[in-house]
Amino acid sequence: MPHPDPPAPSPDSTRRARLAVGAVFAVHGAAQGSFATRIPWIKDQLDLSTAVLGLALAFPAIGASLAMPLASRIMHRYGALAAVRGLLMLWCAALALPAVAPSLVALCAVFAVFGATAGMADVAMNAQGVDVERAHGRSIMSGLHGLWSVGTLLGAAIGVGAVHLNVDARAHLALVAAALVAATPFICRGLLDVRPGPDEDPPPRFALPPRSALLIGAVGMCAILAEGASADWSGVYLRDVTGASETVAAASYTAFACTMAAARLAGDAVVRRMGPVRAVRLSGVLAVSGGTLVVTAQAPAQGIVGFALLGVGIAVVVPLAFAAAGRSGPNPGQAIAGVATVTYTTGLIAPTLIGTIGEVTSLPVSFGVVTAATAVLVAAAGVLGAGGRSTTVASDLSSPGGARASGDAGGRLARE
């Protein structure tokens, strides 16, 4: 006997869900930003060399890549609201762990757990973002990722203040972790409780990403390559290639992060006007222009403008990749986990790849590779439209059967 279609969420519940999922992204980012400010303290506390610290910092990405496929199974079993709330609380609680690791081996193990909780929470909140976007009928994913960037900057600002006041990192991270864990149940109250249909089979515990997710993830990979390269190498590039001062070089990533956050916050309006495919193609053109400026830079100002354009150019790509994954097949959670795995793995490899190419040739050649990768965005943008039932969220909901499509993509909405 066929089951009736799930009721669509009311406008009020959709508005609450949009605010709630935005807060979830900001909290996730705040935890990441808080951690980043304490990496030097951890290095000094365990007396690690730069090379050894770099090796240890690979473990969060390894843990995330291994654990993210589990997130879709957790969402299937417990429902979206419980999954987001529980996984986000685990991620925030894990923030306190790196500062208390007594040895390098313990730090690597803690980092693996740290990355696993971060990655699973990332998958769950992006899946919730796709569901809210579909219910809202308008693009919101870029803005959600912009709020993550804002949360990162706020967490980093608090961390800088704690460092300035000589607050012990163990106390700082424990207090921030406790505050974020306590806040999470309250901010999650408005989320949509999306559950699987009664006849829907659970996803496997571990599985290779579906083919559709690999194609979409490849587009996200190009953007993540540029982001990782700019984040880790922009300061070195400006200092060593363009002769920038230490102060200008140190401030380069902040400028890059701020332009990318601003572009993400404004990106939804562009996506609504142009659609995801044209928006990503325009993004690719901007990113290629920025990369070209970086590669040819002879003065710091040109390099800074180039990195800023790179930030603007890649800003909306990953959010739109997650949104496309959520429309790409019968199991959105598994597809989102697949895209997240591809992008996280690229984020792990990118800094090392750029450094290796730079060592063998030069940093301008390294960023020539980055520029070539961003050119792929122009050619492959169509994948982000083809993955879904339509190229825009609004058309999904306004077409006949749109509410049913929403239910198929996200599962069964619990009655409120």
Predicted pLDDT of residue 81:
93
Q: What is the pLDDT of residue 62?
A: 87
Check if the beta carbon of residue 327 is closer than 8 Å to that of residue 275. Answer: no
Q: Phi and psi for 194 in degrees, rounded to 5?
A: -85, 130
**What value, to the nearest 5°, has the Cα angle with vertex 239 and ends 234 and 245?**
120
| pLDDT computed for residue 18 by the predictor | 92
Using pLDDT thresholds of 50, 70 and 90, give the confidence band for residue 416.
Answer: very low
pLDDT number for residue 38: 87
pLDDT tens string 267-285: 999 998 999 999 999 999 9
Task: Write out the two tokens for 129.
Answer: 């973002």
**pLDDT at residue 386 is higher than 60:** no
Between CA 108 and CA 111 the distance in angstroms is 5
Calculate mean pLDDT across residues 315-340.
82
pLDDT at 114: 92
> What distance in Å separates the CA atoms of residue 347 and residue 234, rounded to the nearest whole number?
15
> H or E element: which one contains 319?
helix 317-326
What average pLDDT does the chain have?
Answer: 83
Range with the poorest average pLDDT among 10-24, 54-68, 375-389: 375-389
pLDDT, average across residues 290-316: 93
Q: What is the dihedral of CA 71, 72, 74, 75, to 10 degrees?
A: 120
Examine the pLDDT at 137 and tell me if it is beyond 50.
yes
Spatial neighbors of 351 by CB under 8 A, at least 6 apart, are: 228, 229, 231, 232, 233
Q: In the chain, pLDDT over 90 holds for what percent of residues? A: 43
pLDDT tens across 51-103, in order? 788 788 888 888 988 888 888 888 888 888 999 999 999 999 999 999 999 99
Sequence-distant (≥ 6) Cβ neighbours of residue 15 within 8 angstroms: none
Q: How far apart (Å, rounded) are the C-alpha atoms in residues 154 and 45?
A: 25
Please tell me the chain's helix, strand, coil percentages from 3-state DSSP, rounded to the nearest 5: 80, 0, 20
Helix (H, G, I), strand (E, B) or coil at 413: strand
Mean of pLDDT values over 198-220: 70
Q: Pick the range with the lowest mean pLDDT from 241-250, 251-260, 318-327, 375-384.
A: 251-260
CA distances for 45 relative to 3, 40, 52, 277, angstroms: 59, 9, 13, 48
Residue 415 confidence (pLDDT):
29
Asked whether the predicted pLDDT for residue 397 surpasses 60, the reply is no
Q: Is the pLDDT of residue 407 over 60?
A: no
CA distance 204 to 84: 19
pLDDT in the model for residue 208: 59
pLDDT tens digits, one per residue of 141-191: 899 999 998 998 889 889 888 888 899 999 999 999 999 999 999 999 999
Which of 93-102, 282-291, 374-383, 403-412 has the weakest average pLDDT? 403-412
How distant is the alpha carbon of residue 90 from its chain centre? 17
CB atoms within 10 A of CB 211: 11
Question: Taking the model in full, what pTM does it have?
Answer: 0.77
pLDDT above 50 (res 389) = no
Query: Above 80 in pLDDT, residue 322?
Result: yes
276, two tokens? 């995801």
How many DSSP H helices and E strands does the chain contain? Answer: 18, 2
* Segment 352-368, tens digit of pLDDT: 788 888 888 999 999 99
Q: Which residues contact 168 (CB under 8 A, 6 or more apart)?
A: none
Which residues share a beta bridge with 412? 195
**Token couple for 16:** 């609450």
Q: Which two tokens stand for residue 366?
A: 């390294």
How is residue 344 written in tokens? 């996280």
Q: How far apart are CA 293 and CA 13, in angstroms?
A: 46
First and final C-alpha spacing in the chain = 25
Answer yes or no: are the C-beta atoms of 101 and 46 closer than 8 Å. yes
405 versus 187: the higher-pLDDT residue is 187
| Nearest one of 206, 196, 232 to 82, comparing CA atoms | 196
Looking at the predicted structure, is the pLDDT value of residue 250 above 80?
no
Identify the residue with better confidence: 215 or 289: 289
What is the number of residues in the chain? 416
